[in-house]
Chain A
Amino acid sequence: MSSGHYVEISHLDVIYDVTKGIFSPKQLVHAVNDVSFTIDSGETFGLVGESGCGKSSLGRAIVGINKPKSGDILINGQDVTHLHGQSLHAFRQEVQMIFQDPYASLNPRMTIGEILTEPMVIHNLYRSAGEREDRVTELLRTVGLKPDHVRRYPHEFSGGQRQRISIARTLAVNPRFIICDEPISALDVSIQAQIINLLKAIQKERNIAYLFIAHDIGMVKHISNRIGVMYLGHLVEVGNSNDVYFHPLHPYTKALLSAIPISDPDIGKSRKRIILEGEIPSPLNPPAGCPLSTRCPLADSTCREMPKLQKFGSHQVACHHINPSDIA
């Protein structure tokens, strides 16, 4: 079954039951719909999409916060959707997660020292208190904070500093795979680059694979080897980050890229944007067939059928209307 990839996700479905009350009709949200992709060891896979596209649900399904409805998640060839006991404990050491909101992801009643020691206590690493202290100091250094911060509480730190503490916490168990769930979107511009560069430096040193989830495709390009674009629960385009970024094939990827405000007044003010009309459909009531068909400039009757993810050059795209001249 294993194809040699470090992480292999195949035909993953995540469905939420959002029925209100006991007697109302059942309402299901198909948050992740038949998504498959792979991540190699030490690689960064960027997952991009707008709110409600299912990118966070996917990340949460991998670490087991949500239970997937169907599909497989193989890490190192082992299915991780049904782990128990010892193997689950080992999995928790291998796969970690960084969260979006640096103000909510640290327990406000614990000092920084306690926050960083907790993972070692849970996994019984470094038995003696002295060793653990040394390790905390080392972790703080890694993320650019001072060792004398250990007795401080999270509320005394700025957003960027807290996010670095979060990163240090995940590193405490020496993971090989970290899911970064929008780790920079709550931060200021000058801090975002700090976090991106820190994550890159850590990856270089420790050969950790990342699943980097974000809505800002520009920042994602900077850290990712490959990018996947999601829309309404579907993966619509996958490819090497430069290919996806500079030669997008799917109409949604094209629109997403052209919607980014460019920080260059001459280009920014004159550029013609592809503006997608209308709003993102409700995930409760998605359109039949291609999810983009309600907003897509190319949509026609063939789009009533769901397009499959197909190989076009170095990309995989799910669209009926790929223009062969676009393929680089």
Chain B
Amino acid sequence: MVDLNNCEAVLRVPVTEIPDEWFERLSDDEKDSEFVAMQSKTYFEDTWAQFKKNRLALVSLVFLFILILAAVFVPMFSPYTYDGQNLMQRNAASSWQHPFGTDKFGRDIFVRVMYGARISLSVGFAAALLNLIIGVVYGGICGYIGGRFDLILMRVVDILYSVPTLLYVILIMLIFGSNIFSVLLAICVSSWVGMARQVRAQVLSLKEQEFAQAAFVLGASRPRILFKHLIINCMGPIIVNTTLMVPDAIFTEAFLAFVGIGISIPMASWGTMANDARAIIMLYPMQMVWPVLAISLTMLSLHFIGDGLSDALDPRKR
């Protein structure tokens, strides 16, 4: 190999003074003709590097992480429970014992907000997961098979989408009763449609790409082409869409709870807490502030994360 330590002398001198031994032929081993240019970065590393650049998204991610930890552990270790009433301490203001104060039954609002976070976040993530599965499979199959099959299935989707969500909610409540699963079902019935449409559009264009055709010519089965070649290449939009689905679902749940549909007392979700506080908002406005603050901050941070992800996963930015 060429000795690079010794080369300073050769770089500075006039051409005629370069020693003759530098004019010896290089052997093939000393050349590096088949090098591979860039350093290897996996998809995940690359996305994370891009995501980290967005401060707001990073702060939001930290916030969400803390919220999830708090939702899991605060109700476990707190001396209070979500339904433990203490009639001696009704409507108390913030204090060391009760950081967010207590409600009209003397229940600790901090614990109730954290307990509500469990409900709201699980509804949000469960809805997003269901959307992901149904939307990706439906959209993927529609886009891949195409033709008349696609045309009919997409019209079904259009019809589902054209019925107002509230109508589904009322129907589902009538049949299954007012509980958390009905809420989940109601949210999912129409919201996977967006995901399905997006995946279908992506798959429709990806299946014309040469790597998909190469897989076809190699004899790959249809599920293999669909999942290993097509859907894996639209992971970017799918992840972003799923992330943005979480706040949508949380908000829908809160909205339904606020109008009195959904989980039943004494369980708490942010929506029911806001509803409870509504009656006494003129007397104890802080009781309204805490659940609403929780809803807003969670929504905002999830939106920021979604934004950050969509930038980080955007193929045009690399």
Answer yes or no: are A and B bound together in one complex: yes
**A interface residue numbers (CB < 8 A to B):** 63-65, 88-89, 92-93, 95-97, 99-101, 104-110, 118-119, 122-123, 144-146, 149, 151-153, 155-158, 161, 166, 169, 173
Dominant secondary structure of chain A at its interface with chain B = loop
Contacts of B233 in A (CB 8 A): 107-109
Contact (Cβ within 8 A) A155 B210: no
Contacts of B27 in A (CB 8 A): none
Contact (Cβ within 8 A) B211 A104: yes
Contact (Cβ within 8 A) B209 A104: yes
Contacts of B36 in A (CB 8 A): 149, 152, 156-157, 161
Alpha-carbon gap, A89 to B220, bound state (A): 9
B219 interface residue (CB < 8 Å to A): yes
Which residues between 255 and 278 of chain B lie within 8 Å of chain A, taking CB atoms? none
10 closest Cβ pairs, A-B complex: A92-B219, A105-B210, A99-B210, A104-B210, A107-B211, A97-B217, A109-B232, A156-B38, A63-B217, A119-B218
Return the contact of B40 from the options A100, A107, A151, A158 (Cβ within 8 A).
Answer: A151
Contact (Cβ within 8 A) A92 B211: no
Task: Across the interface, name the chain A residue whose C-beta is closest to B39.
Answer: A156
Alpha-carbon gap, A288 to B142, bound state (A): 40
What would be 30 A-B contacts, judged by CB atoms less than 8 Å apart? Answer: A65-B216, A65-B217, A89-B219, A92-B217, A97-B213, A99-B213, A99-B214, A101-B210, A104-B209, A106-B211, A107-B229, A107-B232, A107-B233, A109-B43, A118-B215, A118-B228, A119-B219, A122-B218, A122-B219, A122-B221, A122-B224, A145-B34, A152-B36, A153-B40, A155-B38, A156-B40, A157-B37, A161-B34, A161-B36, A169-B214
Alpha-carbon gap, A105 to B212, bound state (A): 8
Alpha-carbon gap, A95 to B214, bound state (A): 12
Q: How far is the CB of B227 from chain A (nearest CB, A)?
A: 11
Contacts of A158 in B (CB 8 A): 37
**Interface range for B:** 20 to 34
Return the contact of A118 from the options B34, B210, B218 (Cβ within 8 A).
Answer: B218
Task: Across the interface, name the chain B residue whose C-beta is closest to A65.
Answer: B213
Alpha-carbon gap, A149 to B211, bound state (A): 19
Q: How far is the CB of B226 from chain A (nearest CB, A)?
A: 13
Contacts of A89 in B (CB 8 A): 219
Return the contact of B34 from the options A88, A106, A123, A144 (Cβ within 8 A).
Answer: A144
Contact (Cβ within 8 A) A156 B37: yes
Contact A152 to B34, CB < 8 A, known contacts A89-B219, A118-B215: no
Q: How far is the CB of A109 from chain B (nearest CB, A)?
A: 5
Contact (Cβ within 8 A) A123 B219: yes
Contact (Cβ within 8 A) B214 A105: yes
Return the contact of A166 from the options B38, B214, B216 (Cβ within 8 A).
Answer: B214
Task: Across the interface, name the chain A residue whose C-beta is closest to B318.
Answer: A155
Q: How far is the CB of A299 from chain B (nearest CB, A)?
A: 37
Task: Across the interface, name the chain A residue whose C-beta is closest to B224.
Answer: A122
Contact (Cβ within 8 A) A96 B217: yes
Alpha-carbon gap, A96 to B211, bound state (A): 13
Contacts of B215 in A (CB 8 A): 107, 118
Task: Across the interface, name the chain B residue whose C-beta is closest to A173.
Answer: B218
Task: Across the interface, name the chain A residue whose C-beta is closest to B42.
Answer: A153
Q: How far is the CB of B140 from chain A (nearest CB, A)?
A: 15
Contacts of A156 in B (CB 8 A): 36-38, 40
Q: How far is the CB of B203 from chain A (nearest CB, A)?
A: 14
Alpha-carbon gap, A231 to B38, bound state (A): 42
Contacts of B219 in A (CB 8 A): 88-89, 92-93, 119, 122-123
Contact (Cβ within 8 A) A118 B40: no
Q: C-beta contact mask, B228-247 vs A, less than 8 Å → 1, else 0? A: 11001101000000000000
Known: A107-B229, A109-B232, A157-B37. 18 other contacts (CB 8 A): A65-B216, A92-B218, A96-B218, A99-B210, A99-B213, A101-B210, A107-B228, A118-B220, A119-B218, A119-B219, A122-B224, A144-B34, A149-B36, A153-B40, A156-B37, A157-B36, A158-B37, A173-B218
Q: How far is the CB of A31 from chain B (nearest CB, A)?
A: 16
Contacts of B37 in A (CB 8 A): 156-158
Contacts of A149 in B (CB 8 A): 36
Alpha-carbon gap, A156 to B213, bound state (A): 22
